[in-house]
Amino acid sequence: MPTQLDISNLSKNFGGLRALGGIDLAVDTGELVGLIGPNGSGKTTLLNIIGGYYDASGGSITLDGHRIDGMAPSRLARLGIGRSFQVTKVFKRLTVLENMLVGALADWGLSRRAAEAKARAVLETLTLTRLADQPASSLSGGQAKLLEFGRIMMLDPRIVLLDEPFGGVHPELKRFMYDTIRTWNAAGATIILISHDMGSIFGLCRRVVTLSSGSIIADGDPEAVRNDPAVLEAYLGDHHAA
Amino acid sequence: MSGLTLLQKGILAVLVLALVLPYVGLQDYWLYTLTIGLYYAMLASSWSLLVGYVGRISFAQAAMSGLGAYVAVLTGQLLDLPVLPALAAGVAVAGLFGLFIGWLTLRLHGAYLGLTTIAFGEILRIAVTAEYDITQGSRGLTAPPLWQGAGPVAYYYVFLAAAVGSVLLMLALLRSRVGLFFQAIREDEDGTASLGVNVTLWKALAFAASTAFAGLAGGLYAHFVQLITPSMMSLQEMGYILAMAVIGGFSNVVHAALGGVILQGLLQVLRELGEWRLAIFGAVAILMLRFAPNGLFGSLDAFLRRRR
């Protein structure tokens, strides 16, 4: 598979604090990559730079060979990069259906009727149809996470960035989310998944990248990363690794 | 009609009543009051368009109305433009100025945004006051009537048409995909951007749309009262607009417009209270924000829906 997302020597400083230092990461089309690391290791910062929310301090990102670093999030979304947020960003005073329509209608070539038909079909697959006309404020935490999934699906994304999608989600709903992610991936979407839920990461991903203090300390198949001493040290401390 | 809520039916009834009012023996004084009320209805609803739907606070609405008024009158005088193109020039300049403020304040929120718009409004008001040779400063600038021989009834209908037309235009905008973008931006800017909506563009354009409507209101007002002064751009005027929108309900352009007409009527009914009226309106606005943030009509609408 050709490299789709190529991150080269990417760095990010917040004032005097180095959040990311010289990240090199190449992600192929259709990969499902887990991004793990202790709190403060730079996972969300990396996702925020890929998604256009932060400017990088140095380095570059290319999508299919074209530079995308520094682009606005809305432009990146239109290029096919969809993302979810650690704390869901559903539009609480809009209905579930309206939440779904926002992204679809950002494409001016799509009529409202077509967008609505598409949104209802996606809601059906997410089992949210009965809530379509309810305000998003009435959703549970898990349903809000699903709605974010649905909004991403409306974009027909090529790359999906998921930031802690399973946080606070009921196990049954979590299994449903696994299936959705696998379906996305099977349909050709590249997925980068951040999660503290190791069961989810190792169950879903065929490649796991570990960050610690803003650097990649391990990158490989789940089994190799799970047993990597550097990863154990980052998570558990020196003496456990030994 | 069966699909309308009780409040919507009430609003339709008020509109029908408004159409026949000049023919039921209403005194000119009250017709004048209602005309001014319709001016405020345009300002309150255009302010609500920005604050209630996009979540961008602005205290420059009165200044934008004044800008529209001065541009309409001055382009008429200096460029010899007929009234309609001059009014259009006022709308365009107010809209462009709004676009500029919107662009300049893209990254500002809350108190910082509010304070910046106050500064813009005050700069405009002071500039108009200071440029005596052009604007006649505090003495005021005389404006021609909309047309020769236009009387109170004609003005009333013009303002009624402008206010209803403006609100209908705003509603059409809000029901389009742009209105959905506005509300999504109000809810969460990052979340909206992540879905491919150009938040920067729509935030700036929302400012422009809101101030363009204010510019139209100001231009019409100038040709109605035929003497405009910088005081129409003052923070006190802005306070009126704010109280009208808050008391009517600023999360709905129709409710805010109704607040404009009703408070202007109350200002006249309670005129014996002098300056105290403003203190009372301020107190009512505070109580509304605390206990009924959807305003009088928003609360009434919710109450009627619950009873159905």
Tens digit of each residue's pLDDT (9 = 90 or more) over B153-162: 999 999 999 9
Cβ A102–B194 below 8 Å, yes or no? no
**Chain B residues lying within 8 Å of A157, measured CB to CB:** none
Least confident of A168-182, B68-82, B126-140: A168-182
Contact indicator for B98, B212 with CB cutoff of 8 Å: yes
Whether the predicted pLDDT of A237 surpasses 70: no
Whether the predicted pLDDT of A241 surpasses 80: no
Residue-level pLDDT at A236: 67
Q: Which of A74, A151, A155 sits opposite B193 (nearest CB)?
A: A74
Whether the predicted pLDDT of A219 surpasses 90: yes
* Domain B6-21+28-307: CATH class, spelled out: mainly alpha
User: Cα(B242)–Cα(B233) distance, rounded to whole angstroms?
Assistant: 13
**Chain B residues lying within 8 Å of A75, measured CB to CB:** 198
Return the number of CB contacts < 8 Å for A and B.
Answer: 75
Residue-level pLDDT at A186: 94
- Residue of A47, A76, A91, A111 to mutate for B, most B C-beta atoms under 10 A: A91
Q: Which of A72, A93, A155 sits opposite B193 (nearest CB)?
A: A72
pLDDT digits (tens, 9 = 90+) for B212-257: 999 999 999 999 999 999 999 999 999 999 999 999 999 999 999 9
- ipTM for the complex? 0.91
pLDDT digits (tens, 9 = 90+) for A105-133: 999 999 999 999 999 999 999 999 999 99
- Residue of B195, B197, B201 to mutate for A, most A C-beta atoms under 10 A: B195
Question: Rounded mean pLDDT of B281-301?
Answer: 89
What CATH number should be reported for the domain whose range is A3-89+158-241? 3.40.50.300
Contact indicator for B217, B68 with CB cutoff of 8 Å: yes
**Chain B residues lying within 8 Å of A106, measured CB to CB:** 181, 195-198
Question: Rounded mean pLDDT of A195-210?
Answer: 93
* Mean pLDDT, all residues of chain A: 92
Whether the predicted pLDDT of A238 surpasses 90: no
Overall pTM surpassing 0.80 (yes/no): yes
Q: Which of B191, B196, B200 sits opposite A91 (nearest CB)?
A: B191
Domain boundaries, chain A: 3-89+158-241, 91-138
Among chain B residues, the shortest Cα distance to A105 is held by B177
Whether the predicted pLDDT of A41 surpasses 70: yes
Residue-level pLDDT at A167: 84
Domain boundaries, chain B: 6-21+28-307
Contact indicator for A31, A57 with CB cutoff of 8 Å: no
